[in-house]
Amino acid sequence: GAGVSQTPSNKVTEKGKYVELRCDPISGHTALYWYRQSLGQGPEFLIYFQGTGAADDSGLPNDRFFAVRPEGSVSTLKIQRTERGDSAVYLCASSLEGRDRVHFGPGTRLTVL
Protein backbone atom coordinates (compact mmCIF):
# COMPACT_ATOMS: atom_id res chain seq x y z
CA GLY A 1 0.00 0.00 0.00
CA ALA A 2 0.95 3.66 -0.12
CA GLY A 3 3.50 4.84 2.37
CA VAL A 4 3.81 8.17 4.14
CA SER A 5 3.95 11.03 1.66
CA GLN A 6 5.17 14.57 2.17
CA THR A 7 4.80 17.67 0.06
CA PRO A 8 6.60 19.58 -1.18
CA SER A 9 9.76 17.54 -1.49
CA ASN A 10 11.80 20.73 -1.59
CA LYS A 11 10.97 24.21 -0.42
CA VAL A 12 13.17 27.28 -0.79
CA THR A 13 12.04 30.41 0.98
CA GLU A 14 13.40 33.71 2.16
CA LYS A 15 14.11 34.64 5.75
CA GLY A 16 11.01 35.96 7.43
CA LYS A 17 8.50 34.15 5.22
CA TYR A 18 5.83 31.69 6.33
CA VAL A 19 5.88 28.06 5.16
CA GLU A 20 3.58 25.08 5.41
CA LEU A 21 4.74 21.50 5.08
CA ARG A 22 2.23 18.72 4.52
CA CYS A 23 2.23 15.08 5.61
CA ASP A 24 -0.13 12.32 4.47
CA PRO A 25 0.27 9.36 6.82
CA ILE A 26 -0.49 5.75 6.02
CA SER A 27 -4.25 5.26 5.99
CA GLY A 28 -5.51 4.11 9.36
CA HIS A 29 -2.43 5.16 11.31
CA THR A 30 -3.56 7.09 14.35
CA ALA A 31 -0.10 8.20 15.48
CA LEU A 32 1.77 10.85 13.51
CA TYR A 33 5.17 12.34 14.24
CA TRP A 34 7.22 15.25 12.98
CA TYR A 35 11.00 15.28 13.23
CA ARG A 36 13.68 17.42 11.65
CA GLN A 37 17.14 16.46 10.56
CA SER A 38 19.90 18.98 10.06
CA LEU A 39 22.82 18.18 7.78
CA GLY A 40 25.06 15.52 9.26
CA GLN A 41 22.90 15.10 12.35
CA GLY A 42 20.39 12.54 13.51
CA PRO A 43 16.71 13.41 13.50
CA GLU A 44 15.25 15.34 16.42
CA PHE A 45 11.72 15.08 17.69
CA LEU A 46 9.28 17.96 17.15
CA ILE A 47 5.71 16.83 17.85
CA TYR A 48 3.57 13.72 18.16
CA PHE A 49 -0.15 13.46 17.37
CA GLN A 50 -2.46 10.73 18.57
CA GLY A 51 -5.57 11.23 16.46
CA THR A 52 -6.37 14.91 16.15
CA GLY A 53 -4.64 16.05 19.31
CA ALA A 54 -1.01 16.84 19.96
CA ALA A 55 -0.04 14.30 22.59
CA ASP A 56 3.48 15.66 22.94
CA ASP A 57 4.71 18.96 21.48
CA SER A 58 7.72 19.27 23.73
CA GLY A 59 10.13 19.17 20.78
CA LEU A 60 8.85 22.30 19.04
CA PRO A 61 11.78 24.72 19.34
CA ASN A 62 9.76 27.91 19.81
CA ASP A 63 6.38 29.50 19.13
CA ARG A 64 7.19 30.08 15.47
CA PHE A 65 6.51 26.38 14.95
CA PHE A 66 2.99 25.01 14.99
CA ALA A 67 1.38 21.82 13.69
CA VAL A 68 -2.20 20.71 13.16
CA ARG A 69 -4.02 17.51 12.31
CA PRO A 70 -7.67 18.61 12.23
CA GLU A 71 -9.25 15.38 10.97
CA GLY A 72 -6.83 12.87 12.39
CA SER A 73 -5.16 12.09 9.08
CA VAL A 74 -3.25 14.76 7.13
CA SER A 75 -1.01 17.01 9.17
CA THR A 76 0.51 20.40 8.39
CA LEU A 77 3.62 21.79 10.03
CA LYS A 78 3.63 25.57 9.95
CA ILE A 79 6.66 27.76 10.45
CA GLN A 80 6.30 31.51 10.83
CA ARG A 81 8.99 34.13 10.28
CA THR A 82 11.45 31.53 9.02
CA GLU A 83 15.11 31.85 9.98
CA ARG A 84 18.19 30.45 8.27
CA GLY A 85 18.62 28.06 11.18
CA ASP A 86 15.30 26.42 10.28
CA SER A 87 16.92 24.93 7.17
CA ALA A 88 16.72 21.16 7.52
CA VAL A 89 14.90 18.10 6.26
CA TYR A 90 11.53 17.85 7.95
CA LEU A 91 10.47 14.25 8.38
CA CYS A 92 6.99 12.97 9.02
CA ALA A 93 6.26 9.47 10.25
CA SER A 94 3.22 7.47 11.27
CA SER A 95 2.44 4.29 13.13
CA LEU A 96 -0.64 2.24 13.81
CA GLU A 97 -1.20 3.24 17.41
CA GLY A 98 1.98 4.82 18.69
CA ARG A 99 3.36 1.54 19.95
CA ASP A 100 4.29 0.00 16.64
CA ARG A 101 7.03 0.33 14.04
CA VAL A 102 7.30 3.85 12.76
CA HIS A 103 7.02 4.45 9.01
CA PHE A 104 8.88 7.50 7.74
CA GLY A 105 8.06 9.73 4.80
CA PRO A 106 10.71 10.91 2.33
CA GLY A 107 10.98 14.31 4.00
CA THR A 108 10.70 17.92 2.89
CA ARG A 109 14.00 19.71 2.43
CA LEU A 110 13.52 23.30 3.62
CA THR A 111 16.08 25.91 2.68
CA VAL A 112 15.79 29.38 4.14
CA LEU A 113 17.90 31.93 2.27
Partner 1 sequence: KNEVEQSPQNLTAQEGEFITINCSYSVGISALHWLQQHPGGGIVSLFMLSSGKKKHGRLIATINIQEKHSSLHITASHPRDSAVYICAVPNYGGSQGNLIFGKGTKLSVKP
Residues 105 and 7: their CA atoms lie apart, in Å, by: 10
Per-residue binding letters, 88-107, with partner 1 (x by CB under 8 A): ---x-x-x--xxxxxxxxxx
Query: Interaction with partner 1 in 48-87: which residues (CB under 8 A)?
Result: 48, 55-56, 58-59
* Spatial contact of 61 and 4, defined as CB atoms under 8 Å apart: no
Per-residue binding letters, 4-33, with partner 1 (x by CB under 8 A): ---------------------------x-x
Show the 3-state SS of 28-67.
CCCEEEEEEECCCCCCEEEEEEECCEEEECCCCCCCCEEE
Which residues here bind partner 1, judged by CB under 8 A? 31, 33, 35, 41-45, 48, 55-56, 58-59, 91, 93, 95, 98-107
